Amino acid sequence: MSTTKKRIIIVTGIPGVGKTTVLNKAADIARQDYTVEIVNYGSVMFETAVSSGFVENRDQMRLLPPEKQRKIQKTAAETITKKAEQGKLLIVDTHMLIKTPEGYLAGLPEWVVTTLEPDVIVLVEAEPESIFSRRSKDESRLRDKDSALEISTHQNLCRAAAITCSTLTGATVKIVTNKEGMVDKTAEELAVVLKGVN
Q: Indicate whether 138 belongs to the interface with ligand ATP (CB under 6 A).
A: yes
Q: Indicate whether 13 belongs to the interface with ligand ATP (CB under 6 A).
A: yes
Question: 72-94 burial string, b = 16+ CB within 10 Å, else e?
Answer: bbbebbeebbeebeeeebbbbbb
Q: Indicate whether 20 belongs to the interface with Mg ion (CB under 5 A).
A: yes
Measured CA to CA in angstroms, residue 100 lies from 9, 93, 97 at distances of 25, 19, 9
> Can you give the C-alpha Rg of the chain in angstroms?
16
Pick 110 or 180: Cβ nearer ligand ATP: 180
Q: Max Cα separation, the chain?
A: 46
**95 contacts 15 by C-beta, under 8 angstroms:** yes
Least Å distance between CB 167 and Mg ion?
Answer: 26
Nearest-angstrom CA–CA distance, 16 and 53: 27
Least Å distance between CB 165 and ligand ATP?
Answer: 17
Q: Indicate whether 169 belongs to the interface with ligand ATP (CB under 6 A).
A: no
**40 contacts 93 by C-beta, under 8 angstroms:** yes
Q: Indicate whether 183 belongs to the interface with ligand ATP (CB under 6 A).
A: yes
Find the part of the chain contacting ligand ATP (CB under 6 A) among 63-71, 109-117, 178-186, 189-197.
Answer: 178-186
- Which x/- pattern, by CB under 6 A, does the window 21-50 give for ligand ATP? x-----------------------------
Strand partners, 174: 122
Pick 6 or 134: Cβ nearer ligand ATP: 134
Measured CA to CA in angstroms, residue 152 lies from 15, 87, 128 at distances of 12, 37, 6
Interface residue with ligand ATP among 154, 178, 187, 194 (CB under 6 A) is: 178
| CB-based closest residue to ligand ATP | 18
Least Å distance between CB 171 and ligand ATP?
Answer: 20
- Which parts of this chain interact with Mg ion (CB under 5 A)? 20
